[in-house]
């Protein structure tokens, strides 16, 4: 039994088109499956929590068709990490697929899921915002400038247009220019594995599980999928014109050579500010004053990659 969870509005309807194509394939018609269509924000999390609690002994995988927001919800709803999860990218950014090298066409990905049965361990990040209950992030969590860019892009009229034209990353470039001239750097207390440092004129702090975010930007190019530790990128004390040049090099990963960029590694990090700042989790934004981040010690099993 395979359970499909489909976000039909992901990628301006790309998720819907992919599932229709899959439904017509002989491969899909020859497997035992059921599917759920998400209807509102948070619905995928509810669906997975329901499926996880059914204790289906013959459940071979939960197959997600959607974007990074959909896989974020699924991972937060997964009650049993032994249930394999597969991802067929149907969103606009699809950074989770990039990080795991899931890059084949949808039918081939399904074939890998059903026939190869290869599983790869993946360690999520955990985060606690302002003392609230624990949530998990799949790709990355970021504070400051990149979160402001994500918020601007998410609220813009042009994001849907660019997604429809399959140039969704351009929306982040335009949003960057909008945010650049009004953004004010902030002071943050950064506690890394128990050691506290105060960073003045901080532009952003980003913690990632793999290299990609923002639809293909190599924010931390050396990041690898691993247990226990994660890389931390800090940008501080940089001019507005120089950060514009820095972000033009993010797609190649050359930005880490700037002297205003610090790269750290941590098992636990805590961020504290004197006032609310914007943060983004897998592209979705909100505000907070404090946040504690760790790696989940128990991996989830991902299917659909090449061996």
CATH classification of the domain holding 171: 2.60.200.40
- Shared domain for 67 and 158, answered yes or no, is no
Residues 198 and 284: their CA atoms lie apart, in Å, by 26
| Structural domain count, the chain | 2
Of 117, 133, 148, the one marking the end of a domain is: 117
Mean pLDDT of 231-242: 94
Domain extent for 219: 125-295
Which of 65, 82, 117 marks a domain boundary? 117
What pLDDT is recorded for position 307?
67
Same domain, 43 and 23: yes
Kindly give the pairing relationship between strand 217-218 and strand 119-122. Answer: unpaired
Say if residue 159 is in the same domain as residue 188.
Answer: yes
Domain-terminating residue out of 117, 142, 168: 117
Q: 95 and 169 in one domain?
A: no
Q: What is the pLDDT of residue 168?
A: 67
pLDDT band at 175 (very low <50, low <70, confident <90, very high): confident
Same domain, 143 and 202: yes
How confident is the prediction for the chain on average, in pLDDT? 91
At 280, the pLDDT band (50, 70, 90 cuts) reads very high
218-222 contacts, C-beta under 8 A, 24 or more apart = 218/250, 218/251, 218/252, 218/253, 219/140, 219/146, 219/250, 220/256, 220/263, 221/253, 221/256, 222/256, 222/263
Q: Above pLDDT 90, what percent of the chain?
A: 69
Judge if 138 and 261 occupy the same domain: yes
Residue 300 inside a domain? The answer is no
Residue 164 binned pLDDT confidence (cut-offs 50, 70, 90): low
Residue 216 in domain: yes
Question: What pLDDT, on the 0 to 100 scale, is given for residue 213?
Answer: 84
Instruction: Confirm whether 304 is domain-assigned.
Output: no
Q: What integer is the mean pLDDT of 282-304?
A: 94
For residue 57, the domain's CATH number is 3.40.50.10330
d(C-alpha 20, C-alpha 166), whole Å: 19
pLDDT in tens, 51-92: 988 877 789 999 999 999 999 999 999 988 899 999 999 988
For the chain, helix (H) and strand (E) counts, in that order, are 10, 17
pTM: 0.92
For residues 18 and 87, state if they share a domain.
Answer: yes
User: Is 272 domain-assigned?
Assistant: yes
Tell whether 151 and 238 lie within a shared domain: yes
Q: Is residue 188 situated within a structural domain?
A: yes
> 264 and 146, same structural domain?
yes
Q: Which of 42, 39, 89 is nearest to 63 (CA)?
A: 89
Average pLDDT over residues 191-197: 95
Q: Is 80 part of a structural domain of the chain?
A: yes
Residue 53 shares a structural domain with residue 197: no
Those residues with Cβ within 8 angstroms of residue 183's Cβ, 6 or more apart along the chain or in another chain: 145, 148, 203, 240
17 and 111 share a domain?
yes
Same-domain pairing of 170 and 112: no
Any domain includes 301: no
């Amino acid at each position: 039994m395979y359970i499909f969870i489909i976000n039909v509005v992901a990628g301006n309807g790309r998720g819907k088109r992919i599932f229709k194509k899959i439904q017509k394939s002989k491969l899909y018609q020859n497997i035992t499956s059921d599917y759920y269509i998400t209807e509102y924000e948070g619905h995928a999390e509810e669906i997975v929590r329901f499926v996880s609690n059914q204790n289906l002994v013959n459940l071979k995988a939960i197959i997600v068709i959607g974007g990074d927001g959909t896989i974020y919800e699924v991972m937060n709803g997964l009650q049993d990490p032994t249930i394999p999860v597969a991802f067929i990218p149907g969103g606009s950014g699809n950074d989770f697929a990039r990080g795991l090298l899931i890059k084949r066409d949808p039918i081939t990905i399904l074939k890998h899921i059903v026939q190869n049965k290869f599983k790869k361990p993946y360690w999520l990040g955990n985060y606690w915002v302002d003392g609230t209950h624990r949530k998990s992030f799949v790709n990355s969590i970021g504070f400051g400038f990149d979160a402001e860019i994500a918020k601007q892009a998410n609220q813009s009229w042009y994001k849907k247009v660019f997604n429809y034209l399959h140039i969704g990353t351009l929306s982040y470039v335009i949003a960057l220019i909008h945010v650049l001239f009004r953004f004010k750097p902030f002071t943050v207390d950064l506690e890394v594995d128990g050691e506290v440092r105060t960073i003045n004129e901080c532009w952003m702090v980003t913690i990632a599980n793999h290299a990609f975010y923002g639809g293909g930007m190599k924010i931390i190019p050396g990041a690898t999928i691993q247990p226990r530790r994660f890389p931390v990128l800090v940008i501080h004390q940089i001019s507005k014109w120089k950060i514009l040049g820095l972000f033009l090099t993010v797609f190649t990963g050359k930005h880490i050579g700037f002297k205003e960029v610090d790269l750290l590694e941590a098992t636990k990090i805590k961020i504290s500010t004197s006032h609310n700042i914007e943060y983004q989790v897998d592209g979705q934004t909100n505000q907070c004053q404090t946040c504690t981040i760790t790696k989940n010690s128990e991996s989830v099993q991902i299917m659909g990659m090449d061996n």
